[in-house]
Amino acid sequence: MQPENMIWVAAGKRYSTKTATLIAHDVYWNGYHFEQNGRNTFLFRTPNGNFFAQYQTLLPDEINRISPLEKNEALQLYQSLHKKEVPFRVAFPHIKAEDA
């Protein structure tokens, strides 16, 4: 499954999968299929540095949608998604990792 070309407007901002950069997703072969329980999540960053998630579904009572994310939400989602398309430092240049 690939991300669907989608435009979504929320709180006066337009989010477009066509103009944003895909940074992570959960599309991978789990031994049965690529769609994880009929759903997939794609994390994007817009050219302006905003983050959003695209949720795609194959389930009959659900719709594909986009949800804007705060930076901390995007960071948590990035860490939880199986496939990283962009390295952490590129996806989150504003975060400076320090030694523990």
What is the count of structural domains for the chain? 1
Least confident of 43-47, 88-92, 96-100: 96-100
Task: Give the C-alpha distances (Å, rounded to integers) separating 38 from 65, 84, 88.
Answer: 14, 20, 27
Residue 12 structural domain: 7-90
Residue 1's pLDDT band, with cuts at 50, 70 and 90, is low
In a domain, 44, yes or no: yes
In a domain, 43, yes or no: yes
In a domain, 100, yes or no: no
The confidence score (pLDDT) of residue 95 equals: 84
Name the token pair of 64: 């594909």
| pLDDT of 74 over the 80 cut | yes
The confidence score (pLDDT) of residue 97 equals: 74
Distance in angstroms (rounded) separating the CA atoms of residues 63 and 50? 23
In a domain, 1, yes or no: no
pTM of the shown model: 0.87
17-58 pLDDT, tens digit each: 999 999 999 986 666 655 656 789 999 999 999 999 999 988
The confidence score (pLDDT) of residue 100 equals: 81
The confidence score (pLDDT) of residue 58 equals: 83
Name the token pair of 27: 């599309």
